[in-house]
Chains A and B, each alone.
Chain A
Amino acid sequence: MSFLELQNITKIYPNGTKAVNETSLNIDNGEFVVFVGPSGCGKSTLLRMIAGLEDITNGEISLDGNVINNIDPSERDVAMVFQNYALYPHMSVFNNMAYGLKNRGISKEEINNKVNDVAKLLEIDQLLTRKPSMLSGGQRQRVAMGRAIVRNPKIFLFDEPLSNLDAKLRNQMRLEIKRLQRQMGVTSIFVTHDQTEAMTLGDRIVVINNGVVEQVGTPKEIYSKPNTKFVAEFIGSPQMNLFNCKIENGIAHIADMRINLNNSTNIDDAILGIRPDDILISDNGQHTCVANLVEYLGSDMIIYSKIGDQEFSCKLSSKINLNAGDTFKFDISNTLVHLFDNTNGSRV
Chain B
Amino acid sequence: MIKYISSTINHLILSIGLIVMVIPIWIIFASSTHSSLFINTNGLQFFLGDNFIENYSRVLFKQSGFFNEITALKMFFNSFVMATGIATLSVITSLMAAYGLVYFKVKYATIIFWLIFITLLVPLELRIMPSYIVMSKLNLVNTFAGLILPISASAIATFFFRQFYKSIPDELLEAAKLDGTNSWRFFIDFLMPLSKTMIAAVFIFMFVFGYNQYLWPLIMTTSEQYWTVVMGLKTMYGSISDRFAFVIMSMIPPVIIIIFLQKLFIQGIFQNK
Write the residues of chain A forming the contact surface with B, with a CB cutoff of 8 angstroms: 51-53, 72-74, 78-80, 82-84, 86-90, 99-100, 103-104, 147, 151
Contacts and interface: CB of A to CB of B under 8 A. Distances in A.
Contact of A80 (B178, B185, B190): B178
B134 to A, nearest CB: 40
B179 A53 contact: no
Contacts of A80: 174-175, 178
A143 to B, nearest CB: 12
Interface residues of B, number: 18
Contacts of B194: 89-90
A222 B193 CA distance: 48
B43 interface: no
B171 A84 contact: yes
Contact of A73 (B172, B177, B189): B177
A53 B174 contact: yes
A79 B179 CA distance: 8
A264 to B, nearest CB: 56
Contacts of B130: none
Contacts of A82: 171, 174-175
The 10 closest A-B pairs by CB, nearest first: A100-B179, A86-B171, A103-B180, A74-B180, A86-B175, A90-B193, A82-B171, A73-B177, A53-B174, A73-B178
B176 interface: yes
A82 B177 CA distance: 13
B177 A88 contact: no
B123 interface: no
B169 interface: yes
28 contacts: A51-B174, A51-B178, A52-B177, A52-B178, A74-B181, A74-B182, A78-B178, A80-B174, A80-B178, A82-B171, A83-B171, A84-B169, A86-B169, A86-B172, A86-B174, A88-B175, A89-B194, A90-B190, A90-B193, A90-B194, A99-B176, A99-B189, A100-B178, A100-B179, A100-B180, A103-B179, A103-B181, A104-B180
A88 B174 contact: no
B174 A99 contact: no
Given A74-B179, A84-B169, A90-B193, A103 B174 contact: no
Contacts of A84: 169, 171
Interface in B220-245: none
- The listed residue with most A CB atoms (<10 A of its CB), out of B171, B177, B178, B193, is B178
Given A88-B190, A90-B193, A99 B172 contact: no
Given A74-B182, A80-B174, A80-B175, 17 more contacts: A52-B177, A52-B178, A53-B174, A72-B177, A74-B181, A79-B178, A84-B171, A86-B174, A87-B175, A90-B190, A99-B176, A99-B179, A100-B178, A100-B179, A100-B180, A103-B180, A151-B179
- The listed residue with most A CB atoms (<10 A of its CB), out of B169, B171, B179, is B179
Nearest to A76: B178
B177 A53 contact: yes
Q: Which secondary structure dominates chain A's binding surface?
A: loop
Contacts of A78: 178
A325 B170 CA distance: 54
Contacts of A53: 174, 177-178
B171 A74 contact: no
Contact of A74 (B178, B189, B196): B178
A100 B181 CA distance: 8
Contacts of A104: 180
Nearest to B196: A90
A78 B176 CA distance: 12
Nearest to A81: B175
A52 B171 CA distance: 13
A89 B169 CA distance: 11
Contacts of B176: 88, 99
Interface string B158-199: 000000000001011011111111100100011001101000
A210 B189 CA distance: 39
A83 B194 CA distance: 21
Contacts of B181: 74, 103
Contacts of B177: 52-53, 72-74
B39 to A, nearest CB: 54
A289 B130 CA distance: 91
A74 B6 CA distance: 58
A291 B104 CA distance: 61
B178 to A, nearest CB: 5
Nearest to A83: B171
A99 B193 CA distance: 14
Nearest to B194: A90
- The listed residue with most B CB atoms (<10 A of its CB), out of A87, A100, A104, is A100
